[in-house]
Chain A
Amino acid sequence: MLQALSQLSWPWRLTLGYLLLMLVLPLAALIAKSSTVGWAEFWRIATDPVALSAYEVTFVTALLAALVNGVMGTLTAWVLVRYAFPGKKLLEGLIDLPFALPTAVAGLTLATVYSSNGWVGSLLAPFGIRISFTRLGVGVAMLFISFPFVVRTVQPVLQELEKDVEEAAWSLGASRFQTFRRVVLPQILPAVLTGVALGFSRAVGEYGSVVIIASSIPFRDLIAAVLVIQRLEQHDYAGATVIGTVMLGISFLSLVVINLLQAWGSRHET
């Protein structure tokens, strides 16, 4: 084994070492630490009603946010690729803002706009719709931070899509909508799914902005990442790692599922 390792070229060795240090070791440590509590205890912490509700809030809200951005991001990419308008460069820059902005700042700005006396929140308040300190707020934060992913994955694919393929569909009698649904969408679907997957993972891992806009009350808008921090604050280190391990498992499973979807979406490429 060691001998085989010494025969590897240096880029290989460097990559392996890096992956070991940055990915494998921390994950192994997390799993090892969580398993010290024993199976029965692990199961009890992992299936605690507060934890179950936190998983549900986290993963379902993240999935919804990623799907909404799948639609809106595709639309935005379409507008950016197909239309020329003044201020386009500025808009291009703005889209990346959620990447660059510290998440706490994002939470702060969102709270300003969506709290019940904020610009948007105050308009919705008379209808009994509250965004901040509710699950809706968690969703808004997740929408914000996962928005750029779909735009950035779909845009280059749309740019490469040849106009004559659409024109061919029109000449065969397909309306613009039929052309989009039957010709354009299938070709950009793998990119949309990639964007949704990235956005989903980002939303699942989000902490900074959610902790500001949500009340983090169990069974209401408490997300798993915040629950981990709460456990740590109570010096319940084992509890925190158990919930962390469960999150790791679910994230991993969702990524596998999304990868399968992507492979299915690009099955015609050889």
Chain B
Amino acid sequence: MGITIEGVSKRFGEFQALHPTDLTIPTGSLVALLGPSGSGKSTLLRLIAGLEKPDTGRIFLTGRDATHASVQERNIGFVFQHYALFKHMTVRQNIAFGLEIRKASRAEIQARVDELLELVQLSGFGDRYPSQLSGGQRQRVALARALAVEPQVLLLDEPFGALDAKVRKELRKWLRRLHDEVHVTTVFVTHDQEEAMEVADQIVVMNQGRIEQVGSPAEIYDHPATPFVMSFIGPVNELSPRSQLSCQLPEVQTGPHQLFLRPHDVQIEVNPGSSGVSARVKEIIHLGREIQAELVLSDGGSLWAHLSREQYANQPLQVGQQVYVRPKVVKAFPVKKNDKKTEMTRVPVGA
């Protein structure tokens, strides 16, 4: 087993950063801890690293109980959002740091640093200081430095958070490729669902100090376990149970539910004879890949719809136009009294 966490919790003063949590991360996997700020994802990562001490529970790294081991003893690699490079050392010296601490021989260090410079595509940059590098280059140095000690676990805390959009995209792809080459168990923290989906094998969605769901990107998107996961991963419309769009659903008759409709699951017809709920187009926004329309239902509720470019070309809309709307798929989460936890049922509508 790569990393096993049993009943680990952490409190900072009055703030319960992490409720008792269990999690297993298989050896060699690439896992994203995804959640909004304050969800406990960074705390969990720092607990695994040993940079924080858990209040309860136990942490196992590659099968060994590491709960009371210091950061130094855990043999992890840690990459920080703001690089945390040693400014007074050259790129070479930065990468060699962990090896020097481990008293590796001069020749060994030389060879390993050369190999890592090659791996992070910075071969000509060994003698530069961090201040002479771009943000993306600095983060690659940080990664090489962490990998130099051959850690059993690589931990990255918002590694692309400080970079601009283009560099971020490149580095994501690059991290994915790197992991395919190096195969070290890797956990990274992000608040960006697109980043998590693109890079990770497994996503751990966190909210308010708890794990909401663990699964592959497809599972998380197609079968969200909770209303939070549904609304955090991708855009959603939340429907009122009294809305014309949802009042005929069988679930609504059986008890209180939270209802969600993805914008791309909204079917729009312009033909007056169609059976949908009547609505008016309030605004049209071109998002590039797709077209977003804001619709106002005849009962006053508003709804976002996403149309592909093709759909839009076949059926152009105009602001103020009368249309008829049908939901393709509505996801319903029963609301239990005295319990926030809900289960999901999948409801195909009007098939």
User: Does B249 sit at the interface, judged by CB under 8 A?
Assistant: no
Q: Are A173 and B51 in contact (CB under 8 A)?
A: no
Q: Which residues of the other chain, B, contact A233 by a CB distance below 8 angstroms?
A: none
User: Does A255 sit at the interface, judged by CB under 8 A?
Assistant: no
Q: Which residues of the other chain, A, contact B148 by a CB distance below 8 angstroms?
A: 172
Give complex CA distance A171, B146 in Å.
8
Per a CB cutoff under 8 Å, which of A168, A178, A268 touches B84?
Answer: A168
- Interface segment among A143-151, A159-167, A222-230, A239-247: the answer is A159-167
Chain B residues bordering chain A, tally (CB within 8 A): 29
Q: Which 9 A-B pairs have the closest CB atoms?
A: A172-B98, A171-B78, A164-B84, A168-B84, A186-B88, A164-B80, A170-B71, A268-B88, A173-B101
Q: C-beta contact mask, A174-185 vs B, less than 8 Å → 1, else 0?
A: 110010001100
| Main DSSP-derived SS at the A contact region | helix
- In the complex formed, the residue of B with least CB distance to A172 is B98
What would 9 more interface pairs be, CB under 8 Å, given A168-B85, A168-B142, A175-B72? A167-B71, A168-B145, A170-B51, A171-B51, A171-B146, A174-B98, A187-B88, A268-B129, A270-B132
Near A by CB (< 8 A), chain B positions 120-169 give 129, 131-132, 142, 145-146, 148-149
Q: Which residues of the other chain, A, contact B323 by a CB distance below 8 angstroms?
A: none
**A and B contact pairs by CB, cutoff 8 A, 11 listed:** A167-B51, A167-B71, A168-B142, A171-B71, A171-B78, A172-B98, A173-B72, A173-B98, A174-B97, A186-B88, A268-B88
Q: Which residues of the other chain, B, contact A168 by a CB distance below 8 angstroms?
A: 78, 80, 84-86, 142, 145
User: Does B337 sit at the interface, judged by CB under 8 A?
Assistant: no
Minimum C-beta distance from A180 to chain B (A): 13
Give complex CA distance A167, B46 in Å.
10
Q: Which residues of the other chain, A, contact B129 by a CB distance below 8 angstroms?
A: 268, 270
Q: Are A178 and B101 in contact (CB under 8 A)?
A: yes
Minimum C-beta distance from B77 to chain A (A): 7
Give complex CA distance A165, B344 in Å.
44
Number of A-B contacts (CB under 8 A): 68
Minimum C-beta distance from B312 to chain A (A): 47
Near A by CB (< 8 A), chain B positions 58-74 give 70-72
Minimum C-beta distance from B85 to chain A (A): 8
Per a CB cutoff under 8 Å, which of A162, A167, A182, A187 touches B78?
Answer: A167
Q: Are B72 and A270 in contact (CB under 8 A)?
A: no
Q: Are B131 and A269 in contact (CB under 8 A)?
A: yes
Q: C-beta contact mask, A10-43 vs B, less than 8 Å → 1, else 0?
A: 0000000000000000000000000000000000
Minimum C-beta distance from A268 to chain B (A): 4
Q: Are B101 and A174 in contact (CB under 8 A)?
A: yes
Q: Are B84 and A172 in contact (CB under 8 A)?
A: no
Q: Which residues of the other chain, B, contact A269 by a CB distance below 8 angstroms?
A: 87, 131
Q: C-beta contact mask, A226-270 vs B, less than 8 Å → 1, else 0?
A: 000000000000000000000000000000000000000000111
Q: Which residues of the other chain, A, contact B102 by a CB distance below 8 angstroms?
A: 173
User: Does B76 sit at the interface, judged by CB under 8 A?
Assistant: yes
Q: Are B80 and A167 in contact (CB under 8 A)?
A: yes
Give complex CA distance A156, B242 in Å.
60
Q: Which residues of the other chain, A, contact B98 by a CB distance below 8 angstroms?
A: 172-174
Minimum C-beta distance from B223 to chain A (A): 36
Q: Are A162 and B84 in contact (CB under 8 A)?
A: yes
Q: C-beta contact mask, B46-59 vs A, less than 8 Å → 1, else 0?
A: 00010100000000
Q: Which residues of the other chain, B, contact A80 by a CB distance below 8 angstroms?
A: none
Q: Which residues of the other chain, B, contact A187 by a CB distance below 8 angstroms?
A: 87-88
Minimum C-beta distance from A159 to chain B (A): 16
Minimum C-beta distance from B78 to chain A (A): 4
